């Protein structure tokens, strides 16, 4: 696509990438700061698996961005599953902890 439509699509793609990378970084740092024992306690994947999953997909979305948004969407989904499912359960068993 040429013209202004292509430019708008390009800007939207960059905004989606930046927002998703921010969420992915937040999920990665949160997982990194949690105790390893918290993950089996909430019956989820091990800490190392979450770090590899979030970090690996985040890296793939950066490296392969030129091939399309597929890896960025996979990374975003992994981060959102962690942030919306695992994080609240870890906060619950750890007594609330940090609000972020």
Q: Cα(51)–Cα(41) distance, rounded to whole angstroms?
A: 17
Q: Which of 12, 4, 22, 11 is nearest to 61 (CA)?
A: 22
What's residue 97's pLDDT? 57
Predicted confidence (pLDDT) per residue in 14-65, tens digit: 888 889 999 999 999 999 999 999 999 999 999 999 999 999 999 988 888 7
pTM for the full predicted model = 0.85
Coil vs helix vs strand at 93: helix
């Amino acid at each position: 696509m040429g013209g202004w439509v292509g430019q708008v699509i390009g800007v939207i793609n960059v905004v989606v990438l930046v927002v998703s990378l921010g969420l992915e970084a937040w999920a990665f740092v949160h997982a990194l700061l949690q105790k390893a024992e918290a993950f089996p306690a909430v019956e989820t994947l091990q800490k190392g698996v979450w770090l590899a999953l979030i970090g690996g997909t985040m890296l793939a979305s950066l490296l392969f961005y030129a091939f399309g948004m597929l890896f960025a969407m996979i990374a975003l989904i992994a981060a959102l599953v962690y942030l919306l499912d695992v994080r609240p359960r870890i906060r619950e068993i750890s007594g609330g902890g940090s609000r972020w």
